[in-house]
A and B are shown apart, each in its own frame.
Chain A
Amino acid sequence: MFAQVGNLMSVSYLRTLIILACMSLGYAVPQVAEAQTFQGNATAPVTLNAYGLPGLVDMPTAFAMPDADLAGTVSSFAGQTRGTMSFQITPRLTGSFRYSGLAGLSRGQGAAGSDFIFYDRSFDLHFVLLEEGGFWPALAVGLRDFGGTGVYGSEYIVASRRFGARDQVSATLGLGWGRLGTRNGFTNPLGAIDERFETRPGRTGLGGTFNTGQWFRGDAAIFGGVEWRASERLAFQLEYSSDAYAEEQADGVFSERSALNFGLTYEVRPGATLGLRYLYGSELGLSFSYSLNPTRPGVPGGRDGMPVPIAVRPASAEPYGQAWLSQESTTSTYFAVLSRRFEAEGLRLSSLGLDAERATVGLINERYQFEAQALGRAARIMTAVLPASVEQFELVFLVESLPTSRIILQRSDLEDLEHHPDGTFLSYGRAVIRDAEVSTVDTEIDYTMPYPRLDWHLGPYLETSLFDPDDPYRFAVGLELGARIELMPGLFLSGALRGRGFGDIGDSTRVSDSVLPHVRSDAAIYDREGEMALRQFTLEYFARPAPNVYSRLSLGYLEPMFAGVSAELLWQPVDARLGLGLEVNHVWQRDFDQLLGLRDYSVTTGHLSAYYDLGAGYDLQVDLGRYLAGDWGATVSIDRTFSNGWTIGAFATLTDVSFEDFGEGSFDKGIHLTIPIGWFLGTSSRGEQQVAFRPIQRDGGARLSVPNRLHGLMQDYHQPSLDQSWGHIWR
């Protein structure tokens, strides 16, 4: 649907198929990788080039970063600055997003002064076809800037091999097309397959699409280089570049005197590398890259302190006494004691049901990223507080007062397994995890926490706005006051008010040229007029209408730009990989001042969503429906998730809005990350930073940002997530 369809449909279709087939092969590798380590990732540290991908200086190499590495690179020379974020999506596939500021580049717009900066966004993919081994080198293929406006548009195939007892030297040789085929280019060898490969059509369209009509076409050129790793931290690179920088030289940005580039990289601290380059015989360049890996935290396992030890009941031949149950106000007393002890451990007791032999607690986890850790800590406290006759513990996790899952533990198992060498595995086997609504025996809730309950916060906020060519980074800092009142179980009234202190986020003078209703593209006006903004003011009701089903109803000012009503239903069994949801909203666009006023525009939107856990940490979500501008279409997102809360993913939306009507970028797409704060701290925290960015925000494929969508809330306490976190049960 989105390929550039030209006269050469069959050629580009075949090429796309081959590339997609190779990528899906890359996806299959994680399962295999458990049995045999993928050597390409396990050896010497991989140098990142000025494009933020495995390479030498400007040229790529055939290596990959360690699986799940997330790297940010900034490099600059002659006023050409590239900021790239790269992620090792699978052991073989590297993806990156780049934002570049190119000073003095005119792009055919007439003479540009050196103070004119052309801002460019590009996406790259780099795929290792073959890992190094035996007598053969590593082989990789890559697409640079495969969408976008094509400043860096190029493709390559490259081979690299390491030599030496400690892999100190590597040699690379490759063939490049597009920009990488401009120096001493020769007729495309692929022309032997089809002579249409010999010419490369010009860039067409508004960018953002896959310019498949261009891939591997036009002249090709050879590039290559060597790297010598002098020590663990220091490496030297020498390369012959096939990029002639024709456009830059024509614009007078710099003039080259040689095709050779020299580089030096030094790892100042683990993951942080400085690079010094001497490029094209005439320019000095500098680069800095920082990489981290969600699977390599600073403190393995975290540094959480000693939990409450299991209080072992005295051995007794007789069954334990039950007289305690008939005493006055016994449940409220136990509720008070448990509640106090739970709070000390970052848990909140919502309800308690007590029988002679069974206790059921409704539990809210406020601290632990690893849900099993919250479970273990709550169970420990229960052994320390509850009378000996209570043998069965049922812990129900509540999110927004909705029971999600119920985990049943036997007290004897807790006593036996606390210090057992195989305690983690055995406790998992003995725990019973069910949907919270399913109960074998009627349980009365004897005591609950009092309602209404108020939570409030006052704190600073930081808001950013990126990629405006007039000013690529704008920000605002201010104070946010928020409150959330739980009026009765599941019914919440909440609001958040922001007051801007300082920042230039309101300075944009861009006017939207969108032909669609301005559902998102007037963001600049909202920023300008929303100095004091009512971010959100809603009444929400959460319920469990049926087993495995959750529901939400939200009313009010749902997000900064829209107000109205939103209803959602989610079917998600506690142990299933698949979840299905339906959401319907009717909203009015809010006034630019983000206070109580509404504008004329209103729309009914809604989506049918499927959530699927692909395994190995990859999650897929497909949403079909109607978007804010009244367009119909679908969104696909793929996320790579980690047990510690890190999530890195990408999404794209295609609707019935044509690329021309959508405008620059052609269709909505972006990258989102969830960054768990506890990962940096080393101790438990449920705090997270959600970062989502799109190369460009326009009006097609825009979805309502209603808070508390059900899937995200519930899935933490379902079986897959409990499984992943069970290693923390005894912590």
Chain B
Amino acid sequence: MAAALALGLLGACGNVGDGLAVVQARIGSLISPRQMDTSAGPNLPRETIDEAAVPLILVEVPNRDASATMLSVGRNRTVTSWAGRDDVGLSMAEPGLVISTRGYGGDILSADIRQVLPALRQPSGATATRTFRFLDGTDQEYARSYFCEFERVGEQRIEIVGDIHQTVHVAERCGATDHGFENQYWIGADGLIWRSVQFAGSYIGYLHVERLHR
């Protein structure tokens, strides 16, 4: 049976269905499905970013040693969708909170961060409940909710590809019954999150997101 699968993957051609090109590209993943194709975004120099004049972000996934530069591909009210090479992508709600991911595997399907937004503006003593939704092994949605506490860590100057930003560093500590995580945000005077470390579920781990464009 394994031989049949292997044969099916290898030599077939024709105009039927598209699956074959996808299949041939993924042969490596048959052996270790957890390894994602890394699409390392080249480290773009500041001039290139400015010339491009389009919104750009850099997303790194430490768990996988992968990073991608992503372009804005859509906007729906306050949510912007971003996509990089190899079709990985995510969506962020203003001012820069990750609410869904795609292409990483174990993706966040959707998230409820409505209580997080006001807490980020006034972090001292603020609390919020946030919820993530994922797909389980039987392709049904399930939700994970966390209770989060915020702390204004302090002011910090950060540098992103040559540009300096004066930001306020805010930490968000979230817990559930058996596990928890900690998100970090560096929020500029304009209210935008210039840099953040956001938890994206236990399969992906943390996402390090940096806003590259001005």
Asked if A681 contacts B105 (CB within 8 A), the reply is no
Asked if B139 contacts A301 (CB within 8 A), the reply is yes
Asked if B111 contacts A305 (CB within 8 A), the reply is no
Asked if A301 contacts B138 (CB within 8 A), the reply is no
Asked if A300 contacts B111 (CB within 8 A), the reply is no
Asked if B34 contacts A455 (CB within 8 A), the reply is no
Asked if A309 contacts B76 (CB within 8 A), the reply is yes
Within 8 A of B (CB), among A646-694: 675, 677, 680-687, 689, 691
Q: Which residues of B contact A682 (CB under 8 A)?
A: 26, 29, 33, 105
Contact of A685 among B1, B11, B19, B133 (CB under 8 A): B19
Closest CB-CB distance, A669 to chain B, in whole Å? 20
Q: Bound complex: CA of A259 vs CA of B133, how far in Å?
A: 54
Within 8 Å of chain B (Cβ to Cβ): is A268? no
Within 8 Å of chain B (Cβ to Cβ): is A489? no
Within 8 Å of chain A (Cβ to Cβ): is B162? no
Asked if A299 contacts B34 (CB within 8 A), the reply is yes
Among the stretches A155-163, A228-236, A458-466, the one at the interface with B is A458-466
Asked if B34 contacts A298 (CB within 8 A), the reply is yes
Asked if A419 contacts B100 (CB within 8 A), the reply is yes
B100 nearest CB neighbor, chain A only: A419
A477 nearest CB neighbor, chain B only: B7
Q: Which residues of B contact A686 (CB under 8 A)?
A: 17, 19
Q: Bound complex: CA of A297 vs CA of B105, how far in Å?
A: 11
Within 8 Å of chain A (Cβ to Cβ): is B50? no
User: DSSP majority for the B interface?
Assistant: mixed
Q: Bound complex: CA of A459 vs CA of B91, how far in Å?
A: 40
Within 8 Å of chain A (Cβ to Cβ): is B159? no
Contact of A370 with B89 at beta-carbon distance under 8 Å, contacts A309-B76, A309-B81, A346-B19 already known = no
Among the stretches A420-428, A547-555, A561-569, A699-707, the one at the interface with B is A420-428
Asked if A421 contacts B111 (CB within 8 A), the reply is yes
Contact of A367 with B77 at beta-carbon distance under 8 Å, contacts A419-B93, A460-B12, A681-B29 already known = no
Asked if A310 contacts B91 (CB within 8 A), the reply is no
A463 nearest CB neighbor, chain B only: B4
Task: Mark contacts of B37-54 with chain A using CB atoms, 8 A cut-off: 1 yes-contact digit, 0 otherwise.
Answer: 000000000000000000
Within 8 A of B (CB), among A578-620: none
Within 8 A of A (CB), among B1-29: 1, 3-5, 7-8, 10-19, 22-23, 26, 29
Contact of B12 among A343, A459, A724 (CB under 8 A): A459
A373 nearest CB neighbor, chain B only: B139
Asked if A300 contacts B134 (CB within 8 A), the reply is yes
Closest CB-CB distance, B164 to chain A, in whole Å? 32
Asked if B139 contacts A462 (CB within 8 A), the reply is no
Contact of B16 among A299, A304, A456, A461 (CB under 8 A): A456
Task: Mark contacts of A278-310 with chain B using CB atoms, 8 A cut-off: 1 yes-contact digit, 0 otherwise.
Answer: 000000000000000111111111111111111
Contact of B19 among A307, A367, A727 (CB under 8 A): A367
Q: Which residues of B contact A457 (CB under 8 A)?
A: 12-16
Asked if B110 contacts A689 (CB within 8 A), the reply is no
Within 8 Å of chain A (Cβ to Cβ): is B104? yes
Asked if A312 contacts B1 (CB within 8 A), the reply is no
Task: Mark contacts of B71-100 with chain A using CB atoms, 8 A cut-off: 1 yes-contact digit, 0 otherwise.
Answer: 001111101010100111101010000011
Q: Bound complex: CA of A730 vs CA of B141, how far in Å?
A: 12
Within 8 Å of chain B (Cβ to Cβ): is A267? no
Query: Residues of B at under 8 Å CB distance from A?
Result: 1, 3-5, 7-8, 10-19, 22-23, 26, 29-30, 33-34, 36, 73-77, 79, 81, 83, 86-89, 91, 93, 99-100, 102-107, 109-112, 114, 131, 133-141, 203
Query: Residues of A at under 8 Å CB distance from B?
Result: 293-312, 343, 346, 366-367, 370, 415, 418-425, 454-462, 477, 482, 484, 642-644, 675, 677, 680-687, 689, 691, 724-725, 727-728, 730-731
A-B contact pairs, 10 of them (CB 8 A): A300-B137, A301-B135, A303-B105, A312-B77, A366-B17, A459-B7, A675-B1, A677-B23, A681-B30, A731-B109
Q: Which 8 A-B pairs have the closest CB atoms?
A: A305-B87, A309-B74, A459-B12, A306-B89, A457-B14, A298-B33, A421-B112, A301-B135
